[in-house]
Chains A and B, each alone.
Chain A
Amino acid sequence: MNSLLSPTQQIPLQDLQPNGNSGTHQAQIHNPQFDPTSSHDDFLDQMLSTLPSCSWSDLKSPWDPPKSDETPPSNPDNNVGFHYDEILASKLRQHQINGGGGGTTAAMKMMMQQQMMLPGRPIAAAGGGGLTMPLHNDIVDGSSFKSPNQQVDVTSHYLNLVGRVPCKLCTTVSVLDLCMGLIISHRTSLSIFTILRHTFFSLLHFPQRITKTLNGLMIHIQLFTSILFIVQGGNMQTQSFGATAGTVMNQSQASGSTTGGAPAQPKQRVRARRGQATDPHSIAERLRRERIAERMKALQELVPNANKTDKASMLDEIIDYVKFLQLQVKVLSMSRLGGAAAVAPLVADMPSEGGDCVQTTAGGGGSLQRNSNGNQPSSNNDSLTVTEHQVAKLMEEDMGSAMQYLQGKGLCLMPISLATAISTATCHSRNPMINKGSSSNHPLLQSNGEGPSSPSMSVLTVQSATMGNGGLDGSAKDAASVSKP
Chain B
Amino acid sequence: MMNSPQQVKNPSSSLKSRFITRFLGALTKINAEHPISSSSPTRIFQRYRRIKVASNKSMAYSVRSRRIWSRAMLSRFRSRRSAFSVRRSSVKTTNCTTSPPSALIKVTINENKIAKGGLDMQTDELRELVPGGEAMDVCNLLGETAHYIKCLTTQVQVMRKIVDFYHLSK
Bound together: yes
Q: How far apart are A6's CB and chain B's nearest CB, in angstroms?
A: 69
State which of B36, B91, B130, B155 has its C-beta within 8 Å of the C-beta of A322. B130
Q: How far apart are B27's CB and chain A's nearest CB, in angstroms?
A: 8
User: For the complex, is B66 an interface residue (Cβ under 8 Å from A)?
Assistant: no
Instruction: Give the residues in chain B near A338, CB-CB below 8 Å.
Output: 1-2, 27, 31, 36, 166
A333 & B159 in contact (Cβ 8 Å cutoff): yes
Q: How far apart are A365's CB and chain B's nearest CB, in angstroms?
A: 8
A295 & B143 in contact (Cβ 8 Å cutoff): yes
Query: CB within 8 Å of A: which of B41-99?
Result: 41-42, 44-45, 47-49, 51-52, 54-56, 89, 91-95, 97
State which of A357, A472, A474, A478 has its C-beta within 8 Å of the C-beta of B48. A357
B145 & A329 in contact (Cβ 8 Å cutoff): no
A303 & B129 in contact (Cβ 8 Å cutoff): no
Instruction: Give the residues in chain A near B153, CB-CB below 8 Å.
Output: 302, 325
A329 and B152 in contact (CB under 8 A), knowing A295-B146, A353-B41?
A: yes
A345 & B39 in contact (Cβ 8 Å cutoff): yes
Per-residue interface assignment for chain A, residues 466 to 485, with 1 indicating a CB less than 8 Å from any chain B CB and 0 otherwise: 00000110110010011000
A325 and B152 in contact (CB under 8 A), knowing A291-B139, A338-B2, A357-B41?
A: yes
Per-residue interface assignment for chain B, residues 137 to 153, with 1 indicating a CB less than 8 Å from any chain A CB and 0 otherwise: 01100110110111011
Per-residue interface assignment for chain B, residues 1 to 28, with 1 indicating a CB less than 8 Å from any chain A CB and 0 otherwise: 1100000000000000000000000010
User: For the complex, is A139 an interface residue (Cβ under 8 Å from B)?
Assistant: no
Instruction: Give the residues in chain A near B149, CB-CB below 8 Å.
Output: 299, 302-303, 318, 321-322, 325
User: For the complex, is A426 an interface residue (Cβ under 8 Å from B)?
Assistant: no
CB closest chain-A residue, reference B164 = A474
User: For the complex, is B113 an interface residue (Cβ under 8 Å from A)?
Assistant: no
Which of B39, B54, B167 is most buried by chain A, counting CB atoms within 10 A of its CB?
A: B167
A367 & B94 in contact (Cβ 8 Å cutoff): yes
Instruction: Give the residues in chain B near A334, CB-CB below 8 Å.
Output: 48, 51-52
Per-residue interface assignment for chain A, residues 276 to 310, with 1 indicating a CB less than 8 Å from any chain B CB and 0 otherwise: 00000000000010011001101100110000000
Docked Cα-Cα span, A319 to B129, in Å, equals 8
Docked Cα-Cα span, A269 to B44, in Å, equals 72
CB closest chain-B residue, reference A354 = B41
Instruction: Give the residues in chain B near A323, CB-CB below 8 Å.
Output: 94, 129
A295 & B139 in contact (Cβ 8 Å cutoff): yes
State which of B39, B122, B160 has its C-beta within 8 Å of the C-beta of A316. B122
Q: How far apart are A4's CB and chain B's nearest CB, in angstroms?
A: 64
Which of B49, B142, B148 is most buried by chain A, counting CB atoms within 10 A of its CB?
A: B142
Instruction: Give the residues in chain B near A382, CB-CB below 8 Å.
Output: 41
B51 & A336 in contact (Cβ 8 Å cutoff): yes
CB closest chain-A residue, reference B151 = A325
Docked Cα-Cα span, A342 to B30, in Å, equals 13
Instruction: Give the residues in chain B near A360, CB-CB below 8 Å.
Output: 45, 89, 91
B39 & A349 in contact (Cβ 8 Å cutoff): yes
Instruction: Give the residues in chain A near B101, CB-CB below 8 Å.
Output: none
CB closest chain-B residue, reference A370 = B125
A475 & B125 in contact (Cβ 8 Å cutoff): no
Docked Cα-Cα span, A321 to B42, in Å, equals 30
User: For the complex, is A71 an interface residue (Cβ under 8 Å from B)?
Assistant: no
A295 & B52 in contact (Cβ 8 Å cutoff): no
B55 & A329 in contact (Cβ 8 Å cutoff): yes
A326 and B39 in contact (CB under 8 A), knowing A336-B163, A339-B166?
A: no
B160 & A472 in contact (Cβ 8 Å cutoff): yes
Docked Cα-Cα span, A361 to B156, in Å, equals 18
User: For the complex, is A368 an interface residue (Cβ under 8 Å from B)?
Assistant: yes
Query: Binding site of B, secondary structure by majority: helix, strand, loop or mixed?
Result: helix
Per-residue interface assignment for chain A, residues 335 to 346, with 1 indicating a CB less than 8 Å from any chain B CB and 0 otherwise: 111111111011
B159 & A336 in contact (Cβ 8 Å cutoff): yes
Docked Cα-Cα span, A335 to B27, in Å, equals 13
Instruction: Give the residues in chain A near B49, CB-CB below 8 Å.
Output: 333
User: For the complex, is B119 an interface residue (Cβ under 8 Å from A)?
Assistant: yes
B41 & A326 in contact (Cβ 8 Å cutoff): no
Docked Cα-Cα span, A212 to B163, in Å, equals 112
State which of A321, A332, A345 has its C-beta within 8 Å of the C-beta of B159. A332
A312 & B118 in contact (Cβ 8 Å cutoff): yes
Docked Cα-Cα span, A39 to B115, in Å, equals 71
A333 & B162 in contact (Cβ 8 Å cutoff): no
A295 and B142 in contact (CB under 8 A), knowing A329-B56, A333-B52, A481-B167?
A: yes
Q: How far apart are B52's CB and chain A's nearest CB, in angstroms?
A: 4
Docked Cα-Cα span, A114 to B129, in Å, equals 72
Docked Cα-Cα span, A471 to B111, in Å, equals 36
User: For the complex, is A330 an interface residue (Cβ under 8 Å from B)?
Assistant: yes
Q: How far apart are A314's CB and chain B's nearest CB, in angstroms?
A: 9
Instruction: Give the residues in chain B near A352, CB-CB below 8 Å.
Output: 41
B170 & A340 in contact (Cβ 8 Å cutoff): yes
Per-residue interface assignment for chain A, residues 394 to 414, with 1 indicating a CB less than 8 Å from any chain B CB and 0 otherwise: 000000000000000000000
CB closest chain-A residue, reference B167 = A478
Which of B47, B91, B153, B162 is most buried by chain A, counting CB atoms within 10 A of its CB?
A: B91
User: For the complex, is A457 an interface residue (Cβ under 8 Å from B)?
Assistant: no
Docked Cα-Cα span, A353 to B41, in Å, equals 6
A292 and B167 in contact (CB under 8 A), knowing A349-B39, A360-B89, A364-B91?
A: no
Q: Can you sample 17 A-B contacts with CB below 8 Å?
A: A302-B150, A323-B94, A325-B149, A325-B152, A328-B156, A329-B55, A330-B52, A334-B51, A338-B2, A338-B27, A341-B36, A342-B47, A345-B44, A346-B44, A364-B91, A474-B163, A478-B164
5 nearest A-B pairs in the assembled complex, by CB-CB distance: A353-B41, A295-B142, A333-B52, A342-B36, A325-B152
Chain B residues close to A by CB (< 8 Å):
1-2, 27, 31, 36, 39, 41-42, 44-45, 47-49, 51-52, 54-56, 89, 91-95, 97, 111, 118-119, 122-123, 125-126, 129-130, 138-139, 142-143, 145-146, 148-150, 152-153, 155-156, 159-160, 162-164, 166-167, 170
